[in-house]
Structure 1
Amino acid sequence: MSGPLVVVGDALLDVDVVGAVERVAPDAPVPVLDVREERPRPGGAALAALLAARDGREVVLVAPLADDAAASRLRSLLEPHLRLVPLAWGGSTPVKTRVRSAGQSLVRLDTGGADGPVGDPGAEVTEALAAASAVLVADYGRGATASPALRTLLARAAARVPLVWDPHPRGASPVPGARLCTPNGSEAARAAVEFGVPADLDGAVAAASRRGDALVRGWGASAVSVTLGARGALLSYGEGAPLVVPAPFVPCADPCGAGDRFAAAAAGLLADGALASEAVAGAVAAASAFVAAGGASAVRVDGAGPTVAPVVGGQDRAADVIAATRAAGGTVVATGGCFDLLHAGHVATLEAARALGDCLVVCLNSDASVRRLKGPERPLQPHGDRRRVLEALACVDAVVVFDEDTPEAALDRLRPDVWAKGGDYAGTELPESTLVRSWGGAAVVLPYLDGRSTTALVKTARDRGAALPSGNSQFADV
């Protein structure tokens, strides 16, 4: 469907004051931050709109804007990227300033945000909503979604195009007919109390399922997706078994903005004609990639920083993991191998490697690479399956498949701080040592569990298969 994605909601100004803490003040036991950079960016509904625009979409943002310096600064950040349709507002622009060092927030300072009346939408708002291919309501509890005139326009839009409502505890309830509502776990818990669901339910998934069902009926929505942070999201249609979309594991130093990334991705996918289940799956992937790349703190108004590509594996995924780890001051570890039949020896090596740092990237031999190394009967599993098994391990943060005989080209791209290999290399020079040392890294050897190998497993399976009566040799072709 043609037409812009229209984002409606409360716009905030976020500012990160970034510096280094290397000493304590002489007159008080407090850290001293040497400020190196100030990074302003849109927040609230304005961040959701910017992220949607970064998807390459035409975006219109309808938001109350005050007559103050912070609003002027917000306009200058947004107008190069999207069309801004302001609503008159008698309040003051909320400004959230985070003081950060080494990838961590030290303190947040909130200014502005005074309440005030929101003006009725004019012809420009009416025309924007009438032309929308989809609508995203990003409510931040500042009063925009309580406007009766605006709610009437939103209800009309919901009857014509997909409308996604990202609610807020202090905001108004979604208008009836929303295609998808996206509360997080705590928002769903608070909202569902109104519809008779207790606030103190046990079990995150079971509680989300019950609350999602109640909110679909109570809000008159087609579906409700309760976002569960690192667990992913649960999609309820009000009855029947819910769909749970798990999130891939990502190192998360700062989840700020993940909800906006999720809602913007879901709205865009619905605008493209996706089913609610497809939109939620894509939104989980996009939010995970966003958080892995540093979240809102890595967003730049000049176009740098994380985009929305829902990458869950491969080189881009590894790059996101490494960037987030280094932004938090962590250590990047890499290891490699074929991992054809995962066994206890593999797991011991992987767990030992992960313990050396703050993320672990596995360099995995491709099928062609394994055949050249092991012979034409190997691998037993294609590299796509081997990668998926590795990515399911808690100790593995990302997997990169390489096609060469050695992982050196992959290592040159990744540049880990530590390259770890399991096996009988102690006291000898690893083949990759010189390369890894060239950027200041270290190559180390990890303990190896004797008697565990894929070759031994294959031999055992064949021997046992050969001992079975004719016709029952299920292992004969291993």
Structure 2
Amino acid sequence: MPVSPPRGSLDPDRLDAILDRVRALTVWVVGDIILDEYLVGETTRVSPEAPVPVVRIQNTDLRLGGAANVAAQLAVLGVHTELAGVIGQDPAGQDILRLCAAAQIDTRATLPRAGRPTSRKLRVLARQQQLVRLDWEDTAACPPDTGRDILQRLDTGPAPDVVILSDYAKGLLTPEIISDIMCGALAGGIPVVVDPKCNDYSTYRGARVITPNLRELQLATGRTLAAEDAAAVAAAAQALMAAAGAQALVVKLGAQGMLVVPADGPPRAIPAWRRAVFDATGAGDTVVALVAASLAAGATLFEAAQIANAAASITVGSVGTISVDADSITGVLMAGHARKVFDRARLVTQVHRWRLEGKRIVFTNGCFDLLHAGHLALLHAAARHGDILIIGLNSDESVRRLKGPARPLIPEGERAAMLAALACVDAVTIFAEDTPREVLQAIRPDVLVKGADYRVDQVVGHELVAAAGGKVVLVPLVPDKSTTALIDQIASRKDPAR
């Protein structure tokens, strides 16, 4: 079965629109609530009592886990989030409620139950390495009236835009409770997105999306699968999807990324972002949260999976469960895109941040109409003189004043986008003045770069840069490469008489 390669990407306006609409959502998260506890320290010796390391604890950390981590991820994005599940009448349960209150998660449907401990996982870490995990839990099935009680409490609040089932096999999501929730949601036309644990996916019949990882897919289908064999994974997912009556599966493949398998189209692969992986804990929670919220906000399935994939890439780069905000997701997805295009105020703020990081700021400017090899050579040379390269780009009106009414050939938005797509460029700012003097006054770069067809005293703003302790660098030009020459060359080919 063919698998389509990834194609198309979210443009900045589309991504902004989706993430803006996410903030207006109400989402119910129903599932197994877990308290994640971390004891972090250092180890330098082996215990004399047994062949185990001695860890000197330096700090402790409590975080929301399981369904509560899904809720925390949504809350960080501005979603009105209602968490439904069971906790114990114990200190860990109180910690859950306290952390939820701090995250502004509604817990009206979080039920304390006597005689049942709060699910809790305690991890001991040293040098970002997990040494041991201790679990407290009761995985006995909750009685059927638990589901009815949860739904009654949820119904006292606002209706959801989407329901998430976060199944960790801790006893809450029995087939009876899942059926109650699914039937209620589907009767109201509310989509349900499932992070599964049970092997009988018919339990989730009618789900909009199910998000198994590879191991869960293997257990549910009885097939041995390799993440690298996308066709086999897709075939297994489609068989499972048909049996479950689901509209789509998004299969999490770890280092291989994701495979998006819709019922009404070909499977599509999304490669993983290349990042150092410190801890995969909670990455699945991030995926189901972002897939559900993005779909409810109007994203296509593939767009939702792209957003979730980017968010998960941030999660695995940190130790323990974390929530990823919208700016971080945007930063990953828009790297190399128009996110590098700054207005002046935002550029000043960003330059300040770069300076706090000890970055050396390089600036050059121009019209960059019909980007050519000469431009690229200048930009690559400029980038070598510092850590951050900023381009000042003449606006369309500015170009017309300088070059005449027939220019520019390429509008400023497209010129800025092409420059922003270059790996050597960190920021582009469009200026409407004839010269970049006002931009230079605002950012005071460490290095001002121009082509060697200028003298230093002819470079606009040279005195501003020098006064701030910076310098002007003139770089050699590529012979016979200019936009004007390129235009003339094109015109002569169209009109041999010229």
Q: Same fold (TM over 0.5)?
A: yes
Matching residue within 162, 165, 189 for 1:134:
162
Match of 2:451? 423
Q: 1:341 aligns to what SS in structure 2?
A: coil
Encode CA deviations 1:271-324: one digit per residue, 9 max, x unaligned: 45x3xx6254156347647967998789999xx96568857455688789979x
Match of 2:137? 115
Asked if residue 62 in structure 1 is aligned to residue 84 in structure 2, the reply is yes
Asked if residue 86 in structure 1 is aligned to residue 114 in structure 2, the reply is no
Contact 1:420 1:443 in 2 (8 A): yes
Match of 2:409? 380
Matching residue within 402, 410, 414 for 2:430:
402
- Displacement, 1:55? 3.7
Encode CA deviations 1:382-426: one digit per residue, 9 max, x unaligned: 233334444544x2576544234466776888898x767463289
Structure 2 distance, partners of 1:212, 1:370, is 54
Contact 1:11 1:44 in 2 (8 A): yes
Asked if residue 147 in structure 1 is aligned to residue 174 in structure 2, the reply is yes
Structure 1 distance, partners of 2:253, 2:288, is 13
- Displacement, 1:461? 0.9
Q: 2:160 aligns to what SS in structure 1?
A: coil
Structure 2 distance, partners of 1:33, 1:330, is 34
Contact 1:362 1:400 in 2 (8 A): yes
Query: Taking structure 1 as reference, are residues 306 and 196 closer, same or farther at Cα in structure 2, changes over 3 Å only?
Result: same
Structure 2 distance, partners of 1:333, 1:352, is 14
Contact 2:36 2:122 in 1 (8 A): yes
Encode CA deviations 1:241-287: one digit per residue, 9 max, x unaligned: 3456789x898887966654443233234445x3xx62541563476
Match of 1:460? 489
- Displacement, 1:82? 1.7
Structure 2 distance, partners of 1:447, 1:159, is 67
Matching residue within 180, 196, 206 for 1:177:
206
Matching residue within 125, 128, 151 for 1:106:
128
- Map 1:283-298 → 2, pairs under 5 A: 284-285=306-307, 288=310
Contact 1:336 1:362 in 2 (8 A): yes
Asked if residue 263 in structure 1 is aligned to residue 291 in structure 2, the reply is no
Q: Which range moves more in the overlay, 360-369 or 215-224?
A: 360-369
Structure 1 distance, partners of 2:462, 2:241, is 58
Structure 2 residue runs of 5 or longer lacking an equivalent are 1-23, 47-52
- Displacement, 1:222? 0.6
Structure 1 distance, partners of 2:40, 2:425, is 27
Match of 1:191? 217
Q: 1:94 aligns to what SS in structure 2?
A: strand
Structure 2 distance, partners of 1:268, 1:460, is 52
Q: 2:135 aligns to what SS in structure 1?
A: coil
Structure 2 distance, partners of 1:70, 1:341, is 63
Q: CA RMSD in A?
A: 5.5
Contact 1:333 1:358 in 2 (8 A): yes
Query: Taking structure 1 as reference, are residues 18 and 175 closer, same or farther at Cα in structure 2, changes over 3 Å only?
Result: same
Structure 2 distance, partners of 1:65, 1:365, is 60
Contact 2:287 2:308 in 1 (8 A): yes
Structure 2 distance, partners of 1:296, 1:410, is 37
- Displacement, 1:467? 1.4
Structure 2 distance, partners of 1:108, 1:449, is 55
Query: Taking structure 1 as reference, are residues 171 and 293 closer, same or farther at Cα in structure 2, changes over 3 Å only?
Result: closer
Asked if residue 9 in structure 1 is aligned to residue 9 in structure 2, the reply is no
In our comparison, the structure showing a higher alpha carbon Rg is 2
Match of 2:9? none
Query: Taking structure 1 as reference, are residues 218 and 292 closer, same or farther at Cα in structure 2, changes over 3 Å only?
Result: same
Structure 2 distance, partners of 1:286, 1:334, is 34
Report the residue type matching 1:93 in the other structure.
Answer: R
Report the residue type matching 2:248 in the other structure.
Answer: A
With the length of structure 1 as denominator, give the TM-score of the two structures: 0.67
- Map 1:339-354 → 2, pairs under 5 A: 339-350=368-379
Matching residue within 204, 209, 213 for 2:238:
213
Structure 2 distance, partners of 1:230, 1:388, is 30
Query: Taking structure 1 as reference, are residues 297 and 198 closer, same or farther at Cα in structure 2, changes over 3 Å only?
Result: closer
Query: Taking structure 1 as reference, are residues 3 and 374 closer, same or farther at Cα in structure 2, changes over 3 Å only?
Result: closer
Structure 2 distance, partners of 1:426, 1:40, is 60
Structure 2 distance, partners of 1:437, 1:142, is 66
Q: 1:458 aligns to what SS in structure 2?
A: helix
Contact 2:34 2:118 in 1 (8 A): no
Asked if residue 164 in structure 1 is aligned to residue 190 in structure 2, the reply is no
Match of 1:278? 300
Structure 1 distance, partners of 2:430, 2:320, is 28
Q: Which range moves more in the overlay, 429-438 or 90-99?
A: 429-438
Report the residue type matching 1:268 in the other structure.
Answer: A
Contact 2:462 2:472 in 1 (8 A): yes
Match of 1:236? 261
Structure 1 residue runs of 5 or longer lacking an equivalent are 100-104, 469-475
Encode CA deviations 1:125-150: one digit per residue, 9 max, x unaligned: 122565533111234x3525652333
- Displacement, 1:228? 6.8
- Displacement, 1:343? 2.8
Match of 1:472? none
Query: Taking structure 1 as reference, are residues 237 and 413 closer, same or farther at Cα in structure 2, changes over 3 Å only?
Result: farther
Contact 2:286 2:312 in 1 (8 A): yes
Q: 1:459 aligns to what SS in structure 2?
A: helix
With the length of structure 2 as denominator, give the TM-score of the two structures: 0.65
